[in-house]
Structure 1
Amino acid sequence: MRRSVPLLNLSPRDQLRAGKLPRRVVQLLFGLTLYGMSMAMLVRATLGLDPWDVFHAGVTLRVPLTFGQVTIVVGALVLLLWIPLRQWPGLGTLSNVVVIGLAADAGLALMATPSGLAAQLGLLAGGLVLNGLAGGLYIGSQLGPGPRDGLMTGISRRTGLSLRLVRTSLELTVLAAGWVLGGPVGLGTVLYAVAIGPLVQFFLPRVTVHLEAHVASHDLAPAARPVST
């Protein structure tokens, strides 16, 4: 039987008032740090990245910034797109912009590209699993979505288009742009698209912080997998 995931549809203020805040903040920062490290693992595997990171890597080839710095800048620019969508970022959203990029650069500084296909595949597999766990942790802290996830849900809400259509359109757009810029597309890109949903779905119910918020049952938001950070 599938476990239910009690993710609440909370405003930024209610996210801070919903209880268990110290534990949730620690889980949020831990999850975001792991997410950045998993991104570094996928970069070092050199077998292809998820669509947003293909774009980040492609931009890195064109500007004098590190991979993590580009991730931060793009996240901040995406957050500006929330303004016409009339969305308000939560603590988790703002932390997402900064922490993931810093952790990714730290991970890249600590890791070297492995020699041999077996080692690359191992790093790729480990990065995928860690990415799924990290996504579950930061989403499960219930402190707000990442800027890219919020862009997806905001566009869907304002236009009436399905989340699936908006997500697919956004990811294909950034993937194409990243590929044109020289970002790495490969086996890892395909495996990420196939595996990340089931991985987050597996981890999310196990790490979500249960909150006793005073909301009506119709305000409960269904579990949603992240597109990327």
Structure 2
Amino acid sequence: MRRLPQLLIGLALYGFSLSVMVRASLGVNPWSVLYEGLEQHTSLSFGTISAVVGVLVLLLWIPLKQRPKLGTIANIIVLAYSSDLGLSLIPEHLGLPARAGLLVGGVLLNGFSIAVYVGARFGPGPRDGLMTGVSGITTRSIRLIRTLIEIIVLAAGWLLGGSVGIGTVLYALTVGAITQFLLPRFAYRGNDAQRERTVRAGVAQRDARQYRTVLRRPPRPELGRHAQGSPGDE
């Protein structure tokens, strides 16, 4: 029962972490650079743009034969609301020390939140699904495909006016390690535990059958005992 709350909390924290990094004004992750760039050319909010981009990316799943799951849809909706909420709560035009603190805190929270919602195992978000889908049809590594996609997104966002800075570099260098470190602590293992219980039950049943078979066997005659009255004894 904890998986769904874990998914929603993780996504809400992820969206909030994006708003924290935006308010730091020291550079954001590649997709947020794109959202910021589009925000400057439309009347839509940051969160709304993230949802629109998420839906457009989801359409690219069709030729990739990817199927959205609950986590995919929740990713689009929850991120939009939580990021806009964070931007409405965090003040703008802060001093450099405060902005540096927001940047570090935002990156840490982002890595933590990814581990939380990915660990719930409700399916990938639109952007992650695009990455795995392209990797599947091209037989290229996920790392390579992700790097190429994020370079394209980053370049497009920068050309549109999105903020690229030290925060972008810090995010690229650290968030993967943070997520990798925390993910085992939040990964849902329900299926693994069920499989383990099934295997143990099967082993126990096998051992019980073997034990019953041994009990039903007739006793073997003792070897080495000579029959009485054998020839040559007279």
Query: Does TM-score exceed 0.5, indicating one fold?
Result: yes
Q: Look up the SS of the partner of 2:191 in the other structure.
A: coil
Choose which of 41, 66, 72 in structure 1 pairs with 2:20: 41
Residues 88-147 of structure 1: per-residue CA shift (max 9 Å, x gap): 011001100111111000000011125221111100000001001100011000000111
Count of aligned residue pairs for this structure pair: 195
Aligned match of 1:19: none
How many angstroms does 1:165 deviate by? 1.4
Q: Is the aligned partner of 1:179 residue 2:158?
A: yes
- Identity rate, percent: 52
- Tell me which protein shows more helix as a share of its residues: 2
How many angstroms does 1:77 deviate by? 0.5
| TM-score of the aligned structures, taking structure 1 as reference length | 0.83
- Distance, in Å, in 1 between the alignment partners of 2:59 and 2:46 is 20
Residue segments in structure 1 that go unaligned for 5+ positions in a row:
1-21, 216-229
Residues 6-26 of structure 1: per-residue CA shift (max 9 Å, x gap): xxxxxxxxxxxxxxxx31110
Q: Is the aligned partner of 1:53 residue 2:32?
A: yes
- Distance, in Å, in 1 between the alignment partners of 2:147 and 2:112 is 22
Aligned match of 1:194: 173
Amino acid at match of 2:123: G
What aligned pairs does 1:110-189 form with structure 2 within 5 A after superposition? 110-113=89-92, 115-189=94-168
Aligned match of 2:51: 72
- Distance, in Å, in 2 between the alignment partners of 1:198 and 1:79 is 27
Aligned match of 2:82: 103
How many angstroms does 1:209 deviate by? 1.5
- Distance, in Å, in 2 between the alignment partners of 1:46 and 1:212 is 42
- Distance, in Å, in 2 between the alignment partners of 1:64 and 1:83 is 29
112-121 or 200-209, which deviates more: 112-121
Aligned match of 1:27: 6
CA RMSD after TM alignment: 1.3
Q: Who wins on radius of gyration, i.e. which is larger?
A: 2
Q: Look up the SS of the partner of 1:89 in the other structure.
A: coil
Amino acid at match of 2:77: V
How many angstroms does 1:64 deviate by? 1.0
| TM-score of the aligned structures, taking structure 2 as reference length | 0.81
- Asked which structure has the greater RCO (Cα within 8 Å, sep 6+), the reply is 1
